[in-house]
């Protein structure tokens, strides 16, 4: 009985942590298309870092990132990757973008 209660409490307390997305945004310093149908974007302040757009990202009016200097704002979550080169294999890590709005 105790183990069932403990398991239920553990699942209830950790489930929201697994599904959390965090806000990000900044100006793109580098935008690179990937071989795995994704786009790698390195953002500057205020909430920058490496992010990866995929075809399953909920994308708003102005579409996916296309060039450096563009502003991005959205939600990101899990770690993801971008295959930059296939010979030799070069993979850049980033954070998966779940929802995105861009400037023109």
Domain of residue 65, CATH code: 2.40.50
- Is 75 domain-assigned? yes
Nearest to 96 by CA among 83, 78, 69: 78
pLDDT at 95: 98
Nearest to 94 by CA among 47, 53, 33, 56: 53
Q: pLDDT digits over 32-51, tens only?
A: 999 999 999 999 999 999 99
Q: pLDDT digits over 63-81, tens only?
A: 999 999 999 999 999 999 9
pLDDT at 60: 96
Question: What range defines the domain where residue 55 resides?
Answer: 21-102
- Is 85 domain-assigned? yes
Q: How many domains does the chain have?
A: 1
Nearest to 74 by CA among 18, 17, 28, 16: 28
pLDDT at 20: 84
CA–CA distance, 45 with 36 (Å, rounded to integer): 27
């Amino acid at each position: 009985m105790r183990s069932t209660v403990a398991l239920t409490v553990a699942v209830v307390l950790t489930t929201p942590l697994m599904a959390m997305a965090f806000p990000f945004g900044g100006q793109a310093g580098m935008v690179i298309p990937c071989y795995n149908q994704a786009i790698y974007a390195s953002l500057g302040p205020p909430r920058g870092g490496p992010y990866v757009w995929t075809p399953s990202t909920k994308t708003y009016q102005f579409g996916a990132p296309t060039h450096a200097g563009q502003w991005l704002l959205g939600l990101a979550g899990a770690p993801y990757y971008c295959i930059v080169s296939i010979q030799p294999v070069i993979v850049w890590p980033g954070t998966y973008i779940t929802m995105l709005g861009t400037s023109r």
